[in-house]
Each structure stands twice: as C-alpha cells, then as structure tokens.
Amino acid sequence: MDIDSILKAALQTGASDIHIVAGHPPMVRVHTEMAALDFPVVTPESAMRMFRHMCHEEHVARFEKIKDTDFSYEIPGLGRFRVNAHMQRQSVAIAMRAIKEKIPAFKDLNLPEVCHRLTYLPRGLILVTGDTGSGKSTSLAAMIQSMNDRYHAHIITLEDPIEYKLVSNKCVIEQRELGDDTPSFASGLRHVLRQDPDIILVGEMRDLETTAAAITAAETGHLVLSTLHTVNASQTVERIIDMYPSDQQNQIRSMLANTLQAVISQTLFKRTDKKGMVPAVEVMLCTPAVRNLIRENRAFEIPNVIETNRALGMNSLDNAIAELYFNGMISREDAVAQAAYPDKLERMLAA
C-alpha cells in the first residue's frame, strides 16, 4: 500500500479530501460525505512511510519539532495536493486536499458577477472568507487568473503551501511558498514592497503582524487579496479590529475603512440537481455608508446596509442561499441548516 496508489484511487472517486489515520483504511470526502477506500487498514508505521515519501527533510525536521507541518505534494500526470501532517494518538496522521490542475473559470464557479468586477480595482484590500474547504483558494486563483489574462502587471503571491500553479500570461507572476521561499507571511510582506509588485496575494491574514503588513501594502497603492476564516462581512471587520490592542483600534478602524474594498464570504453546499458543490456567497462592497460604519465601530449594522444595497451587487448569505434553493440547486434542509438566521430563512422559503 503506497500513497500514490491511494491518491490515484481517491481522485477516481471525485474526492476533495483524503485522510490517512492509523487504525482506519484510507478515507475520502466526496461531496461533503466521508467514505472508505478499498485498501487495508493503515498502521502507524505505514502512515509514517507515506509521510516521509511525500515531503523533504526540512518538513520532517519541522514535524519532529512541533508535531505539525504543511507542504504540497505532486504526482506528475495525476495531480497536486495540499498536505497537513500531524500527530494523533502518538502516530502521524495526514490530511490532503486535492488541487485541480486547471484554474476554473469564473462562469464555472457560480460566483456573482460582482466578484469579477472587483478584479478591475486598481488598489485596496479584497478579502475572501469562509470555513476551511469553502473554496476560498479557488475563488482567489480565478480572480488572479482573470487579471493575468488582462493586465501587464507584476503579481506576487505568498502561500502556505502553493496550491494552484499560476502560469504567467500577460502578467509576470512570482509564487513564494512559506518555508521554502520565505519564513512567514509577515516576513514576505515586509519585503514584498521592494519587489515592485502591482498585485499581492496573501494566503491568509492569520496574525496581527501579517494583517498590519497587508493593510499597509493596500494603503500604499497596491491591490491586495487575502483570506480569513470568518463566515460573514461584519464578523470579518470585527475579527481584524480585535487583532489589535485596544489603544490601537481606533487607528486601525480608520485605516481599514480607507483600504478595504470588499468582503466575499463563501459557504459551500452539496448540489441536488447534479454532482458537485455550489457556493452561497455574501458580498459586502465598501460604499461610503459601510466605511462610516467601520470608522464609527458599528460593524453590527453592516448586514442592514447589505440588505438595502442589492442593486449595487451586495447580497447577504441568507438571500444567496434562498436563490440557490429556488433555482433547484440545494435542498431545503441544507439551506436552513447553514443560514445565518434559520427562522427568517424558513419563512422566506415558505413564501
């Protein structure tokens, strides 16, 4: 039993994720549901062999030090995978996310048209948010590819690890991976402004240092795209503000109000009309009203602004979910289960 055979079998099932855990056969996630592959039960020894086969010695050293490591793995002619190795019950476990070789086009992602319009912005901060596995990386890759096909610009990405391989078209694209090319997002961002970028992609704004550097880059006239693990626009604004010490929060509200251009929050649903997944997308655009709410510490009022500005391209999560349901793409049960306001959505679906 080798990892390449397991991954080949997993892709044949249409799996998005593959899990290697001692005491279980290899497990896959296909359209949100877990299933076992037809392989023997994984032992601690075989799990460690698979881990060592996939990664470099520096990843092994990091794993031995902190019991976690992230890297990418590629099987030529088959595909690429984002990999996390970690310890559980004193043995190594491996979680892998399959990465499509080809970046999907906007029209194939069921994203709102406003997401494509955002790629025409000359500067500012665009955030794509959502739970793990909600399609944030794919949406960002599609946005970058759209700009790559249109502009003569310099794009630099900072990723952990590199997922989609971006091929320079009209743009010059540099992709830097944490660990191999830069020690951290914050370090890469500190130096990126000396590398003459036009567009910067930051894999995740995961700490204060990275967040501050991303906002500074957006303030200095660059277009910055990044992600956060938040479920809606108002929570995203609050999460960024809360990263800062209380005596700096008024200042960062002003900076964020000036630089933030949009928040796109995604929630994935299993389709009922055909195989696959479809996102419900909340969109907040930074109109003058939204910027004032951010400055005045009234982020809790952002949902009201989104509701009343649908003509501009904004949309709340629950409205997006309702649209998917009425278009016959998702089940009523799933729609209500993932709604921000389940009672309100149930009334909307019954109307």
pLDDT score at 138: 93
pLDDT score at 350: 85
List the CATH code of the domain at 3-99: 3.30.450.90
Give the pLDDT confidence of 77-91 residue by residue, as tens digits. Answer: 888 999 999 999 999
C-alpha 289/C-alpha 69 separation (Å) is: 42
How many CB atoms neighbour CB 286 within 10 A?
Answer: 22
List the CATH code of the domain at 106-350: 3.40.50.300
**Any idea where the domains of the chain sit in the sequence?**
3-99, 106-350
Name the nearest CA neighbour of 127 among 238, 201, 188: 201
CB 69 within 8 A of CB 59: yes
Q: What is the largest CA-CA distance in the chain?
A: 59
C-alpha 324/C-alpha 344 separation (Å) is: 16
pLDDT score at 304: 96
pLDDT score at 140: 96
C-alpha 103/C-alpha 324 separation (Å) is: 23
Whether the upstream peptide bond of residue 76 has omega within 30° of 0, thus cis, is no
CB 50 within 8 A of CB 61: no
pLDDT score at 58: 85
C-alpha 313/C-alpha 311 separation (Å) is: 6
pLDDT score at 130: 95
Edge-to-edge order in the sheet of strand 199-202: 172-177, 154-159, 199-202, 223-228, 124-130, 260-270, 277-285
C-alpha 191/C-alpha 194 separation (Å) is: 6
Block mean pLDDT (10 aa), the chain, length 351: 94 95 96 93 96 90 92 90 94 93 87 96 97 91 95 95 91 92 90 95 94 95 96 96 96 97 96 92 98 97 96 96 96 95 92 70
C-alpha 23/C-alpha 41 separation (Å) is: 6
- Whether the pTM exceeds 0.85: the reply is yes
pLDDT score at 57: 87
How many CB atoms neighbour CB 332 within 10 A?
Answer: 13
DSSP 109-121: HT--HHHHHGGG-
pLDDT score at 77: 86
The reply to whether domains 3-99 and 106-350 share a CATH topology is no
